[in-house]
Amino acid sequence: MALTAEEIDHVLDLFSGVPDLSTRKMFGGIGVYSDGTIFAVMMRDGRLMLKGQGDMIPRYDALDMERWTYQRPGKSETAMPYWIMPDSALEDGEEASDLAREALQHL
């Protein structure tokens, strides 16, 4: 099932403190971009995740953010460069935008 317009609006509202914000549909969810750089994804099941690399990985670990992994039948588990947003940031646009801006500095 694809995301609803309300769910997409919620993501845009959460990240309203991020400049040049846009979204693109992908696999039933959306990619979230700032100035053309993807920094987050929202899966069709409603999980919102921030992209991370470099110095952001220890930061996400310190926040106890869970890394997104998936496993295809008959294959080993694969870790993706995305971490599930902390619950506190899902309801606090300032915290969500702060994390997003910090993540963008490392992409």
**67-70 sheet: strands from edge to edge:** 21-26, 29-34, 37-42, 48-51, 78-84, 67-70
Q: How many domains does the chain have?
A: 1
Looking at the DSSP bridge assignments, the partners of residue 31 are 24, 41
Asked if 3 contacts 44 with a C-beta cutoff of 8 angstroms, the reply is: yes
Q: Is the pLDDT of residue 1 over 80?
A: no
CATH number of the domain encompassing residue 72: 3.30.1460.30
Q: How far apart are the first and last CA of the chain?
A: 30
Give residue-wise pLDDT tens across range 79-97.
999 999 999 999 999 999 9
Asked if 3 contacts 29 with a C-beta cutoff of 8 angstroms, the reply is: yes
Give residue-wise pLDDT tens across range 33-69.
999 999 999 999 999 999 999 889 999 999 999 999 9
26: containing domain: 5-104
pLDDT of 20: 96
